[in-house]
Amino acid sequence: MKKILIVGAGGQIGSELATYLRGIYGNGNVVAADLRPSERLAADGPFEILDALDAERYAELVRKYGIDSIFNLAALLSAKGEANPTLAWKINIGALTNSLEVARQYGCALFTPSSIGAFGGDFPRDNTPQDTIMQPNTMYGVCKVTGELLSNYYHTRFGVDTRSVRFPGIISNVTLPGGGTTDYAVEIYYAAVKGERFVCPVSENVYMDMMYMPDALRATVELMEADPAKLKHRNSFNIASMSFTPEIIYAEIRKRLPEFEMVYDVDPVKESIAESWPNKLDDTCAREEWGWKPQWDLSSMTDDMLRAIRAKNL
């Protein structure tokens, strides 16, 4: 990767991926693009306004900067997608198909994340295998499975270098997620630091896979830099680092902040989405094919999240 374009760079993952990639590949070689202006992203490298649904402008930016690698991160998340499924399809699939076409036409490598949300139906919830039944019952999941299939199709049919991981819920402290089912695991830390009572929208015993942002960023780059000859899978790899319920993360925070209080007000949409997703992914293929290994667990992440959010002086 020499000249990189991040589409949807203003979102939860994109905003930190831009900083991370600029640190590795050089500020001038990582173009951040988003629908909305961002002073932060424009401060240390090229920034462009881009609606990922605008194929002409997308191609124009790829030509302008001589882009060879694209990270397509423009998407609506799961709960928001259920509130407006047609909009979720339009944005998620529109950004995907434009990314695939531009990658095909200009010979770019393309990363499009999939998700734990791609699973659904009667599959093993524990140690969910790499290859299993994927019959999601959310529009977000339908878009993710479509993304995996189309990305594989572009790879086998046109030789496009498409790669992807199935991200767990991503926990971070720079840009908030929005409209996701796993968002509670970010919001709980902000409530804890602010001394507020946290109202959890998912019930106490629901397990979901989660990952701290530094591991997610490293996974993304390690996969994109992996030797293609070793990849038996491409779109998309299970990756995992931790899995917990609301009670488990609450207890972990209370070890550091014993006064912290959490109550439940279960959101039926989020609850049914969470129950349809894996409890814990089996990431053996990612470990074997490109050496994936997480570095963060719930305890080290909790220490770091509390430290970083305290430093914001909210």
Q: Is 117 in the site for ligand SER (CB under 6 A)?
A: yes
The nearer residue to ligand SER, 21 or 116, going by C-beta atoms, is: 116
Catalytic choice (140, 184, 212, 250):
140
Active site residue 140: yes
Q: What is the DSSP string of 166-201?
A: EE-EEE-SSS---S-SSTHHHHHHHHHHHTPPEEES
The nearer residue to ligand SER, 202 or 253, going by C-beta atoms, is: 202
CB of 45 to ligand SER, least distance (A): 26
**Helices 184-194, 246-256: crossing angle, 10 deg rounding:** 30
Do 203 and 271 form a contact (C-beta atoms < 8 A)?
yes
Q: Which of residues 160-199 bind ligand SER (CB under 6 A)?
A: 167, 169, 180-182
DSSP state for residue 134 in the 8-state scheme? B
Question: Segment near ligand SER (CB under 6 A), from 26-34, 46-54, 109-117, 249-257?
Answer: 109-117
Q: Is 294 in the site for ligand SER (CB under 6 A)?
A: no
Q: Which of residues 140-159 bind ligand SER (CB under 6 A)?
A: 140
Selected binder of ligand SER within 9, 61, 116, 134 (CB under 6 A):
116
The nearer residue to ligand SER, 114 or 302, going by C-beta atoms, is: 114
**Cis peptide before 236, with omega less than 30 degrees from 0?**
yes
What amino acid occupies position 65? Y
CB of 256 to ligand SER, least distance (A): 24
Do 23 and 44 form a contact (C-beta atoms < 8 A)?
no
Q: Tell me which residue of 121, 131, 274, 282 sits closest to 203, measured CA to CA.
A: 274
In the chain, helix, strand, coil percent, each to 5? Answer: 50, 15, 35
Residues labelled as active-site residues:
140
Rule CB under 6 A: which residues touch ligand SER? 77-78, 115-117, 140, 167, 169, 180-182
